[in-house]
């Protein structure tokens, strides 16, 4: 439809019909069976109203979408199609590793391709929009939603967030033609990951400097990549919930970041303004959210039941309403829904046809995102060894993660199933989920371990223990898994722990008892096959940590990009009292950002820092990497910087660029990083992104802690 046609359509709409377009509800109001991802309230809705709403979220099947759309269009006066949205977070029915795992690939092509495949499967199920990517900056693993994030580095998160948007949406303005792509909704704007105490939905108090420097970049990347929607967050920003925060939405999102798409609330967040106690009733909540700039009210009845009266009482808001409705119609038009409300769904064949190629892709992704944290000669496994597989996750298909709701656990490949196909001398100790690692189970485990060469301990979190509304105050292994490790280690030291986790865990107390630790995260539908390939050495682990594993929960919030402070702890003042340190713990992480091992290794043999053009601020870093081993090696070469003197205090390290490299055995490789001064710009106290002259130290290495200084440049 042309802009003219859309405006002509709007002229036909009644006030109630316009308001209806700004309402998004569960499918339950039309048919049973939708995904509940927030508190459910029941409210009265007339049949007329139900055929005026604009959007449905959380459908499960193409048949459900087709049925609802057909019923809606038959009863809608203007026949404006519904737009269907859902949380396609890391796959639709065929599940990829969780986003935090995908970030461990440091591979934007992998992320973009995974998003494209997820979009294909979701589009075939009738989904038009996904509530993804999640672009929240995170530095507190107590917050269960780090699972959905791209980790603690704003630059890595920005690159991957844009990759998700490209993967879901395809080339700009192609959504109406390419029915295998879906619109993306970047979330949660903004600051959600800074919840105090890591407690979900808790207060956020964020300085503008911190917001502009660390929280906005990934959203800017999504917007620059053309993301169609932005979802606001539940939390307060400067004391006002984002859902009702006019300066945040109008000045920052619309003006500073230039976002021109649709702004949607989070689940029931408009109504929750009353719980925040910034609105006395639904009408005040609706007015505040609407005036702030929320254009679609997800799962609350505030707009549905009060917005028409608000507009009638304040006609100056009519234009505001038309803007919001236009954004909804524009989205529907961009998706081609006015031409085909079913977007390619064929009544004759609404059955699911999963593409095996997508399943293969999830396996490859799982192989490339697992992170080997430790290995003292235990991995890879060999067919000559007697191998024991023990622990609650040994034969578990609870490996899809918290946001995999369409994914079927029963179709996931467990670690046991993956290993069985590998012709190993494998003994598996069965584990019944209801057991919480009883003494009897641990005793059985020790017996089996005693007669084995290597013990694979499959441990970690259940899906419910991470994700939304899954905050923890302890990050050590739960359900007596640490007891299992310590007892087994006494009878057989050759333990390889296979960790299934949605967040960094505190492994300090068990690390010494394990000779190898591989974090699989929640690896998705093909987890078992991927892990079997990794554990037998068919594939080398190549994931690198996108988020630090702390030594203690007491260190949180934690990021490698900490500021210097006025009393930094250094190699020379370890025993001094009056420095920024803990009395009972080191300052650094157990496993740092960017860290990960393979089955081989390489060294940085020589480096050169070249100033190509001082006046234009163009530089090059060259490095020769050498692999002197008998085995090829995958790694991620990371370039960090430290701006030596700045206007506002800056981090001690900042990831600037990285390159995934593959080095054949007994060979070397020359790697070049091309950098310019723009990548050293930072947010100043006036909130402007700019460079200032000075010296910048450059560090090159394989994680944020190990990277060595290779020189300085002047800009």
Rounded CA separation 320/385 (Å): 70
Binding letters toward ligand GLC, positions 411-450, x by CB under 6 A: ----------------------------------------
**Residue 467 vs 596, nearer CB to ligand GLC:** 467
Say if residues 435 and 369 touch (Cβ distance below 8 Å): no
Q: How much is the CA Rg of the chain, to the nearest whole Å? A: 26
Question: If binding is defined by CB under 6 A, does position 267 make contact with ligand GLC?
Answer: yes
In whole angstroms, the minimum distance from the beta carbon of 231 to ligand GLC comes to: 6
Sequence-ordered list of residues with C-beta below 8 angstroms from that of 172, at least 6 positions apart, any chain: 226
In whole angstroms, the minimum distance from the beta carbon of 267 to ligand GLC comes to: 4
**Residue 106 vs 131, nearer CB to ligand GLC:** 131
**Residue 219 vs 702, nearer CB to ligand GLC:** 219
* b/e burial code for range 186-219 (CB count within 10 A of at least 16 → b): bbbbbbbbbbeebbbbbebebeebebbbbbbbbb
Query: What residues numbered 47-76 form the site for ligand GLC, per CB under 6 A?
Result: 57
Binding letters toward ligand GLC, positions 536-555, x by CB under 6 A: --------------------
Binding residue (CB under 6 A) for ligand GLC from 266, 295, 461, 703: 266
Say if residues 494 and 515 touch (Cβ distance below 8 Å): yes
**Residue 131 vs 673, nearer CB to ligand GLC:** 131
Say if residues 473 and 142 touch (Cβ distance below 8 Å): yes
Binding residue (CB under 6 A) for ligand GLC from 24, 76, 87, 458: 87
Binding residue (CB under 6 A) for ligand GLC from 38, 81, 528, 543: 38
In whole angstroms, the minimum distance from the beta carbon of 17 to ligand GLC comes to: 24
Binding letters toward ligand GLC, positions 663-702, x by CB under 6 A: ----------------------------------------
If you ran DSSP here, which 8-state letter would residue 594 be given?
T
Binding letters toward ligand GLC, positions 459-478, x by CB under 6 A: ---------x----------
- CA-to-CA dists, residue 331 to 3, 28, 253, 318, 522, angstroms: 12, 23, 18, 20, 33
Query: What residues numbered 168-187 form the site for ligand GLC, per CB under 6 A?
Result: 187
Ramachandran angles phi, psi of 111, nearest 5°? -65, -45
In whole angstroms, the minimum distance from the beta carbon of 54 to ligand GLC comes to: 16
* Residue 310 preceded by cis peptide, ω within 30: no
**Residue 166 vs 187, nearer CB to ligand GLC:** 187
Binding residue (CB under 6 A) for ligand GLC from 84, 96, 131, 326: 131
Query: What residues numbered 599-658 form the site for ligand GLC, per CB under 6 A?
Result: none
Say if residues 391 and 457 touch (Cβ distance below 8 Å): yes
Sequence-ordered list of residues with C-beta below 8 angstroms from that of 246, at least 6 positions apart, any chain: 291, 292, 293
**Residue 37 vs 396, nearer CB to ligand GLC:** 37
In whole angstroms, the minimum distance from the beta carbon of 300 to ligand GLC comes to: 12
Catalytic residue, from 266, 301, 398, 703: name it. Answer: 266
In whole angstroms, the minimum distance from the beta carbon of 203 to ligand GLC comes to: 16
Question: If binding is defined by CB under 6 A, does position 502 make contact with ligand GLC?
Answer: no
CA angle 702, 611, 707 (to 5 degrees): 15
Q: Is 266 a catalytic residue?
A: yes
**Binding residue count for ligand GLC, defined by CB under 6 A:** 9
**Residue 187 vs 487, nearer CB to ligand GLC:** 187
Ramachandran angles phi, psi of 118, nearest 5°? -65, -40
* b/e burial code for range 283-307 (CB count within 10 A of at least 16 → b): bbbbbbbbbbbbbbbbbbbbbbbbb
**Residue 89 vs 534, nearer CB to ligand GLC:** 89
Query: What residues numbered 187-206 form the site for ligand GLC, per CB under 6 A?
Result: 187
Question: If binding is defined by CB under 6 A, does position 84 make contact with ligand GLC?
Answer: no
Residues in the chain: 715
Burial class (CB in 10 A: 0-12, 13-18, 19+), 604: middle
**Residue 38 vs 293, nearer CB to ligand GLC:** 38
**Residue 96 vs 131, nearer CB to ligand GLC:** 131
Binding residue (CB under 6 A) for ligand GLC from 21, 37, 243, 466: 37
In whole angstroms, the minimum distance from the beta carbon of 127 to ligand GLC comes to: 12
Q: Which helix (H) or strand (E) holds 272?
A: helix 272-275
Q: Which helix (H) or strand (E) holds 701?
A: strand 695-701
In whole angstroms, the minimum distance from the beta carbon of 357 to ligand GLC comes to: 27
**Residue 202 vs 486, nearer CB to ligand GLC:** 202
In whole angstroms, the minimum distance from the beta carbon of 131 to ligand GLC comes to: 3
In whole angstroms, the minimum distance from the beta carbon of 468 to ligand GLC comes to: 6
In whole angstroms, the minimum distance from the beta carbon of 450 to ligand GLC comes to: 47
Torsion-angle region of 239 (φ positive above 0: left; ψ -120 to 50: alpha; else: beta): left
Structure tokens given for 225:
């990549």
Q: For the sheet containing 129-130, what is the strand order?
A: 262-264, 229-232, 183-189, 129-130, 83-86, 55-57, 23-25, 297-298
Q: What is the DSSP string of 408-456?
A: -GGGSPPHHHHHHTT--EEEE----TT--S-HHHHHHHHHHHHT-SEEE
Of 675, 398, 518, 516, the closest CA to residue 104 belongs to 518
Residues forming a β-bridge with 511: none
Which residues contact ligand GLC (rule: CB under 6 A)? 37-38, 57, 87, 131, 187, 266-267, 468
What is the set of active-site residues? Answer: 266
């Amino acid at each position: 439809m042309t802009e003219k046609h859309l405006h002509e359509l709007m002229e036909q709409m009644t006030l109630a019909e316009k308001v209806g377009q700004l309402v998004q509800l569960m499918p339950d109001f039309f048919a049973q069976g939708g995904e509940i991802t927030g508190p459910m309230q029941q409210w009265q809705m007339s049949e007329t109203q139900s055929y005026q709403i604009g959007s449905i979220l959380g459908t499960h099947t193409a048949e459900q979408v087709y049925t609802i759309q057909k019923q809606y269009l038959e009863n809608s006066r203007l026949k404006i199609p519904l737009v269907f949205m859902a949380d396609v977070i890391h796959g639709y029915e065929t599940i990829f590793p969780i986003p935090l795992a995908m970030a461990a690939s440091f591979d934007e092509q992998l992320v973009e391709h995974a998003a494209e495949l997820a979009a294909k499967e979701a589009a075939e199920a009738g989904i038009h929009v996904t509530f993804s990517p999640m672009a929240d900056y995170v530095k507190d693993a107590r917050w269960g939603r780090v699972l959905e994030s791209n980790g603690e580095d704003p630059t890595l998160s920005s690159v991957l967030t844009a990759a998700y948007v490209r993967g879901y949406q395809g080339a700009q303005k192609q959504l109406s033609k390419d029915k295998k792509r879906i619109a993306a909704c970047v979330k949660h704007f903004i600051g959600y990951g800074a919840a105090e105490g890591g407690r979900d939905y808790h207060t956020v108090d964020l300085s503008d400097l911190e917001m502009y420097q660390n929280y906005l970049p990934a959203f800017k990347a999504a917007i620059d990549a053309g993301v169609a929607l932005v979802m606001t967050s539940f939390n307060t920003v400067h004391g006002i919930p984002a859902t009702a925060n006019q300066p945040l939405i109008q000045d920052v999102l619309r003006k500073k970041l230039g976002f021109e798409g649709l702004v949607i609330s989070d689940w029931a967040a408009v109504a929750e303004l009353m719980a925040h106690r910034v609105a006395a009733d639904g009408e005040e909540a609706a007015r505040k959210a609407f005036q702030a700039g929320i254009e679609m009210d997800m799962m609350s009845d505030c707009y549905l039941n009060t917005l028409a009266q608000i507009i009638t009482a304040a006609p100056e808001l009519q234009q505001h309403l038309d803007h919001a409705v236009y954004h909804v119609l524009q989205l529907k038009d961009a998706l081609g829904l006015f031409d085909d409300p079913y977007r390619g769904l064929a009544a004759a064949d609404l059955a699911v046809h999963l593409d095996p190629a997508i399943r293969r892709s999830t396996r490859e992704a799982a192989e490339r995102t697992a992170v080997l944290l430790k290995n003292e000669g235990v991995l890879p496994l060999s067919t000559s060894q007697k191998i024991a597989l023990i622990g609650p996750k040994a034969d578990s298909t609870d490996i899809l993660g918290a946001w995999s709701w369409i994914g079927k656990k029963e179709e996931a490949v467990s670690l046991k199933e993956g290993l069985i196909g590998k012709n190993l001398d494998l003994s598996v100790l069965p584990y019944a989920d209801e057991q919480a690692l009883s003494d009897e189970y641990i005793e059985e485990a020790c017996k089996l371990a005693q007669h084995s060469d290597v013990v694979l301990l499959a441990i970690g979190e259940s899906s419910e223990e991470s994700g939304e509304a899954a905050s923890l105050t302890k990050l050590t292994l739960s359900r007596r898994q640490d007891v299992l490790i310590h007892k087994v280690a006494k009878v057989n030291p050759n333990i390889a722990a296979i960790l299934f986790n949605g967040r960094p865990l505190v492994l300090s107390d068990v690390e010494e008892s394990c000779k190898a630790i591989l974090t699989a995260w929640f690896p998705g539908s093909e987890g078992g096959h991927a892990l079997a390939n990794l554990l037998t050495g068919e594939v080398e682990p190549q994931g690198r940590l996108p988020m630090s594993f702390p030594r203690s929960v007491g260190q949180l919030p934690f990021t490698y990009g900490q500021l210097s402070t006025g009393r930094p702890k250094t190699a020379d003042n370890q025993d001094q009292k009056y420095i920024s340190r803990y009395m009972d713990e080191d300052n650094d992480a157990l496993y740092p950002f960017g860290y990960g091992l393979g089955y081989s290794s390489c060294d940085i043999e020589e480096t050169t820092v070249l100033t190509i053009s001082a006046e234009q601020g163009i530089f090059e870093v060259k490095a020769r990497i050498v692999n002197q081993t008998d085995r090829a090696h995958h790694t991620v070469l990371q370039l960090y910087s430290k701006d030596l003197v700045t206007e506002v205090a800056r981090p001690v390290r900042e990831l600037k660029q990285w390159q995934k490299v593959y080095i054949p055995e007994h060979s070397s490789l020359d790697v070049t990083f091309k950098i310019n001064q723009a990548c050293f710009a930072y947010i100043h106290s006036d909130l402007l992104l700019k460079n200032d002259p000075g010296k910048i130290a450059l560090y090159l290495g394989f994680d944020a802690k190990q990277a060595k200084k290779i020189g300085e440049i002047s800009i």
